Structure 1
Amino acid sequence: MTDSITVASLHELSPLQVHALYKLRVDIFVHEQQVPYAEIDDTDAAATTRHLLATDDSGAVLGVGRVYPSTIDGEEVLQFGRFAVTPAARGTGVARRIMEQAFQLADAPSTPLPLYLTAQKPLTDYYGGYGFDVCGPQYDDEGVPHVPMIRR
């Protein structure tokens, strides 16, 4: 189903790719999950943020994620987030391909870094299957319980 995964900064994406990225994130996080928050933030536009867009062979965006450098408890990491897949693409391997691309960025020979994320509490086992371990206490983010996780 997936033709390719594009890895690019926001300014390298076409206007239609940016639109599709934001539309998918709002459709999933704001509408489907019913969490009314400011989905678009300044991290999206940072020169060091890499957006991951999984597309089918027609160019339709099936899933997204982003990776950016961060410091967590004094440790340099790559932070993974804004991970969403269209309902039609769930269970097809799209999510795994996006996650594998994030691993490639984190494991780059020139700058290998741990990959950090904040998981919605019900997804801790899902991310555990990718080698992430809980690394801090549960907290509330806009009414949704989250848990910090890291993959070393």
Structure 2
Amino acid sequence: MRLEIKPFEALTVPELYALLRLRSEIFVVEQECVYLDLDGKDDRALHVLAWEGEDLVGYCRVFRPGDYFEEASFGRVAVSTEYRGRGYGVRIMDFTIDRINKEMGPIPIAISAQAYLKRFYEELGFEPEGELYTEDGIPHLRMVLKPHKK
């Protein structure tokens, strides 16, 4: 798997199409969640792309402090169904957290995690904060990675 991170302006049209298609496959079709994925925030984000050859197999978008939450953040974490169970999610998260630390310094990272992924994020060092809430019809919780954890 080859990982890269790009600002919105550096994405090619085929890359943008691939990431929007992957997000739609996971968050709209697989999770049966009707919501507006094109939320007007992609142009502020950095985009982590995970490739196997020419195929986009994983993705997430990263926000600087103040662009989404007060802290640095990431979301729309996705791994294509045929590539799950190979540790790609952890590799994408390690790469993402490392890039946040290198580009923004060792700062807190806050996420809005789908509740069923709580253990996954805890294993990466994130800690839950507050109560469960519903976002786009799916239970979520706020989780934070303190700078000293990773």
TM over 0.5: yes
CA deviation after TM superposition for structure 1 residue 59, in Å: 1.8
Residue 24 of structure 1 deviates from its aligned partner by 0.2
Higher helix share: 2
Q: Does 1:34 align with 2:51?
A: no
**Equivalent position to 1:60, from 28, 49, 55:** 55
1:84 corresponding residue in structure 2: 78
Task: Structure 2: state its 5+ residue gaps.
Answer: none
The 3 A distance-change label for structure 1 pair 109 and 10 is closer
TM-score (norm 2): 0.90
Residue 64 (structure 2) pairs with residue 69 (structure 1): yes
Q: Which of 114, 121, 124 matches 1:120? A: 114
* Gap regions ≥5 residues in structure 1: none
Equivalent position SS for 2:142: strand
Q: Which letter does structure 2 place at the counterpart of 1:53? A: L
Q: Report if aligned partners of 1:76, 1:113 keep a CA contact under 8 Å in 2.
A: no
1:95-134 correspondence to structure 2 within 5 Å: 95-108=89-102, 111-134=105-128
Query: How has the CA–CA distance of structure 1 residues 118 and 51 changed in structure 2, closer, same or farther, with 3 Å as cutoff?
Result: same
| Aligned Cα root-mean-square deviation (Å) | 1.7
Structure 1: 4+ residue segments shifted above 4 A: none
Q: Percent identity?
A: 31
Q: Which amino acid aligns with 1:143?
A: G
Give the TM-score of the pair, scaled to structure 1. Answer: 0.89
How many residues are aligned here?
145
Equivalent residues of 1:106, 1:114 under 8 A apart:
no
CA contact (8 A) 1:5 1:55 kept: yes
Deviates further, 79-88 or 98-107: 98-107
C-alpha distance in structure 2 between counterparts of 1:8 and 1:109, whole Å: 12
